[in-house]
A and B are shown apart, each in its own frame.
Chain A
């Protein structure tokens, strides 16, 4: 998933830059994690 790959390209088309995309994926990974 480089900045020039297909998902980042479509995300950019929708106003989501590469860095934001990466951060959203991390947020999604953490959304179900319960606090210790």
Chain B
């Protein structure tokens, strides 16, 4: 590979995941410098990004952005128009994969098992539950477990949920409600066109949330996961199938829940861009 090419590492932006993106981007810049790349430009993205890239004229962009607009197809569409190659998935794939409902619409008909959910107006939660507890509420297009709440019988959100209780219903007008799936938290990465392995995530708290994901020592990673070989293969096959069905490029990650008492694992989420990698 030509190590004199101009690589722009796009990071930061203005999503809720900005701090994580900055960590990712700085790691990528350091790695490229260590590997002898001579022309690496870190760019903390702001709304003037089009003019910035026009001036920089990179040979390739490494997309280290998390959340919107770096992960939802917006930046990808801009780069397509500018004819600048970039890492990870393209515009259409990113637009679908950032949206949990659209992702299900693509994957479920092809046999990828995902929880049946429904979109709810947040205000309706104060009148009653959208489904039997326990259930999960999540924004449809945020990652890193931003805005996720698990509503259980014993939770302190109230019955029904109180408008005064702190939760995503205060930040988002609409939320996706899904039945809570009991089980172990597992994830499979796909690199280019190969499923790598299965990792089990064991949070020290009750939930693998934003803090558990990005705070050192909050979650144990067991890699490779100690699961039966047939279960590992089923998850890796499903992750690769999802990667291909959505048209992912570069790397993607598919999250699963697997209950030892149930035969088959089910996918809960697929990410197509660098977040959560």
Contacts and interface: CB of A to CB of B under 8 A. Distances in A.
A3 to B, nearest CB: 6
Contacts of B199: 6, 9-10
Interface in B12-50: 23-24, 27-28, 31-32, 34-35
Interface string B167-202: 000000000000000000001110110001101000
Given A22-B62, A29-B250, A2 B27 contact: yes
Interface string A1-35: 11111111111011010110111111111101100
A1 B196 contact: no
Contact of B23 (A2, A19, A21): A2
| Size class of the A contact interface (CB-based, 8 Å) | 20 to 34
Interface class of chain B by DSSP: mixed
B27 A18 contact: yes
Interface class of chain A by DSSP: helix
Interface stretch (B85-93, B111-119, B156-164): B85-93
A1 B277 contact: yes
A29 B23 CA distance: 21
B243 interface: no
A24 B7 contact: no
26 contacts: A1-B274, A1-B277, A2-B23, A2-B24, A3-B31, A5-B24, A6-B277, A10-B188, A10-B191, A10-B199, A11-B189, A11-B191, A14-B196, A18-B31, A21-B191, A25-B88, A26-B7, A26-B87, A27-B1, A28-B87, A28-B249, A29-B61, A29-B87, A30-B59, A30-B60, A32-B85
